[in-house]
Amino acid sequence: MKFFIDTANLAQIKEANELGILDGVTTNPSLMAKEGIKGIDAVMQHYKTICEMVDGDISAEVISTDFDGIIEEGKKLVAIHRNIVVKVPMIKDGIKAIKWFTQNGIRTNCTLVFSAGQAILAAKAGASYVSPFIGRIDDSGWDGMELIHQLRQIFTIQGYKTEILAASIRNPNHIIKCAEAGADVCTCPLDSILGLLKHPLTDIGLAKFLEDAKKTA
Ligand code: E4P
């Protein structure tokens, strides 16, 4: 399973990248706004900076909701860097645009996916990635992980090449469950990635080893 970081915060991207386990970055307009990025030039520059920091796929989201607008924006985004993947919302014009991008060699990430039916449409249109939002499904009282299991089964049976990119991750356990369910990618906040490091027995064990090492010094 590939690890992406789900943020537009450069310090967090740098920290995750320095761990040596990062395969890419996903962003969205809310994450860009959170960093105070304002104006199209600043947004484009921010994507460029991220692309220069991480050697992997970088999802950059369109904000148009009509076919022509999505295509125009997507073309500008992919011109920034070869690693840009155009993030397109799961709407009717989004599906048409994903098909167009696919036919024109432009990679896409279909975002805001909450059901198997939506994911099937994205895969049929040729999306490179489909992003089920498991945390938001959990938040609304359903089981996000069930969707990952369902998509893994459908995509394998059908032979879809689209990668399942589990998104809206809330904690380290979500990451483990995604790996278990066969997600191709998990995009995570830094805290959830770092949470994987932690176990109290590791801390206790290390303290004991370091204490005993003094006896052998
Ligand atoms: C995915 O690409 C989205 O950016 C993200 O995972 C959404 O997560 P949230 O539900 O925490 O906003």
Q: Which residues lie across from 100 on neighbouring strands?
A: none
**Alpha carbons 148 and 43: distance in angstroms, whole number:** 31
- How confident is the model at residue 172, as a pLDDT? 98
Query: Could you tell me the pLDDT band of residue 55, with boundaries at 50, 70 and 90?
Result: very high
**Alpha carbons 144 and 148: distance in angstroms, whole number:** 7
- Choose among 136, 118, 135: nearest CA to 127: 118
Q: Which residue has the tokens 């993947």?
A: 85
The protein residue whose alpha carbon is closest to atom 5 in ligand 1 is: 168
- How confident is the model at residue 165, as a pLDDT? 98
25 burial level (CB within 10 Å; 0-12, 13-18, 19+): buried
Catalytic (active site) residue 87: yes
**Alpha carbons 164 and 90: distance in angstroms, whole number:** 14
Query: Could you tell me the pLDDT band of residue 14, with boundaries at 50, 70 and 90?
Result: very high
Q: Which residues lie across from 6 on neighbouring strands?
A: 26
The protein residue whose alpha carbon is closest to atom 7 in ligand 1 is: 168
Q: Please give the distance, rounded to the nearest whole angstrom, from the Cα atom of residue 99 to the centre of ligand 1.
A: 23
Q: What is the DSSP letter of 161?
A: -
Query: Could you tell me the pLDDT band of residue 182, with boundaries at 50, 70 and 90?
Result: very high
99 contact partners, CB below 8 Å, separation of at least 6: 125, 126
- Which SS3 state, helix, strand or coil, does residue 60 take? strand
Please answer whether residues 203 and 197 qualify as being in contact, where contact means their C-beta atoms are separated by less than 8 angstroms.
Answer: no
Query: Could you tell me the pLDDT band of residue 108, with boundaries at 50, 70 and 90?
Result: very high
Ligand 1 pocket, 162 CB below 6 A? no
Pocket test for ligand 1, best of 28, 31, 170, 193 (most atoms within 8 A of CB): 28
**Alpha carbons 131 and 127: distance in angstroms, whole number:** 10
Please answer whether residues 74 and 62 qualify as being in contact, where contact means their C-beta atoms are separated by less than 8 angstroms.
Answer: yes
Pairing of strands 163-166, 2-6: unpaired
Pocket test for ligand 1, best of 30, 133, 147, 174 (most atoms within 8 A of CB): 133
Cα dihedral: 115, 118, 121, 125 (round 10): -120
66-78 pLDDT, tens per residue?
999 999 999 999 9
